[in-house]
Amino acid sequence: MLGEGILKGMAETAKNFFGSYVSKERLTTVEYPEERVPAAENARAFPFLVYDGPDWQAGLRCVSCQICEKECPPKCILIEKSKDKKPDYVGKPQFYPVRFDIDLSVCMSCQICVEVCPFDAIKMNTEFALATDDRFGGLLFSREKLAKSNEYYHSIHPTEAAEVDARLAEEKAKVEAKAKAAAEAAAAKAAVSASPAEGGN
């Protein structure tokens, strides 16, 4: 029937319009910013840095490989790599970013930095209301402002964060198993070489 789609659309609009007077579920408008529609799990705004453990400086997953800085299309990421290593939250010595800045006024939220990061250290936030009257420094975020806990990551992207944690745990288990096997092999070799030679004169 000609115009059937238009009639269906008008009927749906009328149902929501008149229904909003009797049912809050039909009220599609929210009083922003006092009320906010919850962000969808796959929503993305600007990047942030993930850290594990209670201390963001020790727990930053970023090891300053600088891949995200090189791959960023608008070149809004600036990283200064440390000259030394310091223990991370599990005690493993790692390089760390002495400086990690993202100019959010230039960032185009393309998520390429997330896709190229081999350490799952940078992810996309859902917070978009970052307007400021400071046009030069207000949207230049340093590592202190960018650092968010793994718990925060789980709160905004639970499915993705669970997959990342499972993958990291699997990789960690493989490394530990390999290290254990190497230690056992070295111990067995040492035991064989230390045992007295058997046999005749």
Q: What is the CATH number of the domain that holds 74?
A: 3.30.70.3270
- Flag whether 25 is in a domain: no
- Flag whether 53 is in a domain: yes
Parent domain of 69: 47-148
C-alpha to C-alpha distance for 64 and 82, rounded to whole angstroms: 8
CB 48 within 8 A of CB 147: yes
**Domain count within the chain:** 1
Sorted by sequence, the CB contacts under 8 Å of residue 84 that are 6+ apart come out as: none
pLDDT digits over 162-175, tens only?
999 999 888 888 88
Q: Which run of H or E residues covers position 86?
A: strand 86-87
C-alpha to C-alpha distance for 27 and 21, rounded to whole angstroms: 8
- Flag whether 172 is in a domain: no
C-alpha to C-alpha distance for 38 and 21, rounded to whole angstroms: 23
- Flag whether 57 is in a domain: yes
- Flag whether 11 is in a domain: no
Q: Which residue has the tokens 């594990």?
A: 52
- Flag whether 190 is in a domain: no
CB 97 within 8 A of CB 60: yes
Q: Mean pLDDT per segment of 10 residues, for the chain of length 201 residues?
A: 88 85 76 86 94 90 95 96 86 90 95 95 93 86 96 96 92 86 88 66 48
Cα–Cα–Cα angle for 103, 56, 145, rounded to 5 degrees = 25
Phi, psi of 111 (to 5 degrees): 75, 10
| pLDDT for the residue numbered 21 | 81
- Flag whether 22 is in a domain: no
- Flag whether 16 is in a domain: no
| pLDDT for the residue numbered 127 | 92
This prediction's pTM:
0.77
